[in-house]
Amino acid sequence: MTTNPRYEVLFEPVQIGPVTAPNRFYQVPHASGMTEANPRVRAAFRGTKAEGGWGVVSTGAVSTHPSSDDSPLPFARLWDDNDIRSHALACDAIHEHGALAAVELWHGGAAVMNRTSRIAPYSPSGIPWMATHVGFMGNQRPRTMSAEDIRQVLNWQAQAARRAHSAGYDIVYVYAGMGYLGYEFLLEEYNHRTDAYGGSVENRVRFVKELLEISKEAVGEDCAVALRISLEELRAKPSDNYASQAHEVVSLMSDIPDLWDVKMDSSPTDCGASRFRAEAAHEPVIDFVKQVTDRPVVGVGRFTSPDTMVSQIKRGVLDLIGGARPSIADPFLPNKIREGREDDIRECIGCNICISSWHDGVPVRCTQNATAGEEWRRGWHPEHFTPTSSSAALLVVGGGPAGLEAALIAARQGFSVTLAERGTELGGRLLFETSLPGLSTWGRVRDYRLQALQQMPNVNLYLDSELSAKDILELEHQHIAIATGARWTRMLYSSLEIPVGHLNVPGVYTPDDLAAGMLPQGPTLVYDFDNYYLGGVIAEHLATLGREVSYATPAGHASAWTIMTNEQPFVHQALHQHGVKVHTLQLLKSFHNGEAEMANIFTGDTSQYACQSIVIVGHRSPRDELYQQLQSSSGDFEAMGIHSVKVIGDAHAPGALVHAVHSGHSFARSLEQDSDTLYLRDIPVTDFPPGHAAT
């Protein structure tokens, strides 16, 4: 297959200062949770994207000095020469496939707590960033930078740029976005200075200009210098002589960087979940930049559609199509477009589990792509599979996310696969959840796998096929995977924050009841101690049906865990817009005679809430009865020619979609494998012993 002529513009080279990107696909800087402690994991992760056709592959934030210390969150470093070799591994992996390697040099300023270095954070005027995310909270307030401090930060940028150049990077970044130090100088809320670095926009730009200039001087003439800048707040601010302060800032520096990388100001708006942000949502903020500068411009917008990408280029919005989340979901997205295989793209669903990985301090995870972060550790390639030499056949019971993934990955290895689903459609929990407000994009989890399975000659799909243990044993498959999911329960929640008891009285529903077509009657209370998206979405859903809805949780916020996925502000906004009353720190104690009794989780003070129905979104239990029945015959498996019987996905341990998909993938990869090794353990690469900082 060949490239669709409509998309050929995406494969044109783009000059970026002294270097040339081979195409317009640009993996912009994004966190990976992989630091100098995991150099081989990081190199394989980035190198796979270059192999997949991304013309430029960037790091995440790389600290220039211990005064930019984001611990315990994972961040990379170029503090001294000891860090060069680990970065060189990534550069070599990227260059092996003809892509350019870019490094996002970064100083966090007032937005980092320096918990490990214990250096008072730097800021233009001592103004702190008062984070509401517990992972970013701290009591150390920043110092006001002196003229000497400014000179030191510029010097650290230059030293890090030289080290980056030595490691092999082709593009070196200056970072002036997302609340970090360069951004703090640009924004008047942070910058109250009265010297040459404060006051007018022209003065507030000075620090960023000097970072760019000293970076160019440090890397010489064969390495480009890029500026990554947040424009959301600046565009909302008036300017005396320009359309906005954003226009003024870009105009004042228009010809200094070799590349403009433009973005939003906060993670929730910059990396907005698909539930609240559509593809290309950044355009209204960044659309003016190419009118002001003749340098190439890259931006993001969770681009998954090649038609949208082409539109961005032809309408003069962007020169390069930036991808962070789409490059994680499918590292081979560019090559698939080049080869005319657009239908094979594993599209990002915008669930932001990748972002939660960084908040958790672990290597990146992806709902769509179970191989993300596992390329080196487990040897999982997103597109290549070791062909099996076995004639063994696999039976997968259950067509939800885990079952579909297990079937697909086993089939790609060459196993004969049969998938049996008791329902009339494949998709499991997705069939209901994707019908809820904002979650339709998550249907890509089902659609991608089903589309692939339907084209494979070694796969048989059977619907409306409920199998007993006896049926399964008589079907004579050598491998059996039980992927029968989990059920929501009516369990309550104790002040010890564990599920206890059951509220089995009339008028109490679970998400399973709603999925089966039942609808609560009258005023409804959604009681949520699952804490992820579903409780809030169900409350919103019922409100759109005209129900009077209240939402209660023992947590301090609605859908409390969604702070990890950048959704929490928008969850509260959506509930407010739909007239849903939110009650936090509440334990549901009982329900009778049209009243729910609630108690404050800390004080025990009780309150009565009038409602006719309750939906409990809380504890899930595995539907593993079929697996347990099969295990009762395990002594006969060998005689029956059965090699393995495994329970996977929610039937094994209920979790998010990412856990179900990973479980199915891991199971399929392990078929006919004898190794008990979980994964390879990475170690740092250094040239010097601890305590020796080369200069």
Q: Which residues are catalytic?
A: 180
DSSP track, 170-238: SEEEEEE-TTSHHHHHHSTTT----STTSSSHHHHTHHHHHHHHHHHHHHGGGSEEEEEEE-HHHHTS-
* Cα atoms in the 13 Å half-sphere on the side-chain side of 144: 10
H or E element, residue 33: none
Q: What is the distance between the alpha carbons of residues 244 and 237, in angstroms, rounded to a whole number?
A: 6
Q: How do the residues of the chain divide into helix, strand and coil, expressed in percent and rounded to 5?
A: 35, 20, 45
Pairwise CA distance, residues 228 & 554, whole Å: 40
Q: Which CA distances in Å does 250 have to 242, 331, 347, 440?
A: 10, 31, 33, 37
Q: In what order do the strands lie in the sheet with 508-509?
A: 508-509, 613-617, 524-528, 549-552, 581-583
DSSP state of 682: P
> What is the number of other CB atoms lying within 10 angstroms of the CB of residue 103?
30
Distance CA 292, CA 273 (A): 30
Assess contact for 584 and 556: CB atoms under 8 A. yes
Q: Ramachandran region of residue 179, left (φ > 0), alpha (ψ -120 to 50) or beta?
A: left
State the CB neighbour count (10 A cutoff) for residue 215.
Answer: 27
Nearest to 164 by CA among 240, 246, 103: 103
| Structure tokens, 206 | 């000075």
Tokens 């006051």 correspond to: 199
Cα-Cα-Cα-Cα torsion 119, 123, 125, 126, nearest 10 degrees, comes to -40
What are the angstrom distances between the C-alpha of 60 and each of 63, 423, 550?
10, 43, 41
- Name residues whose C-beta falls within 8 Å of residue 173's C-beta, 6 or more positions apart in sequence: 29, 58, 102, 103, 104, 105, 106, 225, 226, 227, 228, 261
Q: Token pair of 329, please?
A: 């979901």
**497 CB-side CA count, 13 A:** 8
Report helix, strand or coil for 243: coil
Residue 298 to residue 282: CA distance in whole angstroms:
12
DSSP letters of 348-398? -----HHHHHHHHTSS---SS-TTTT-TTTT---SS--PPP----EEEEE-
CA pair distance 513, 519, nearest whole angstrom: 8
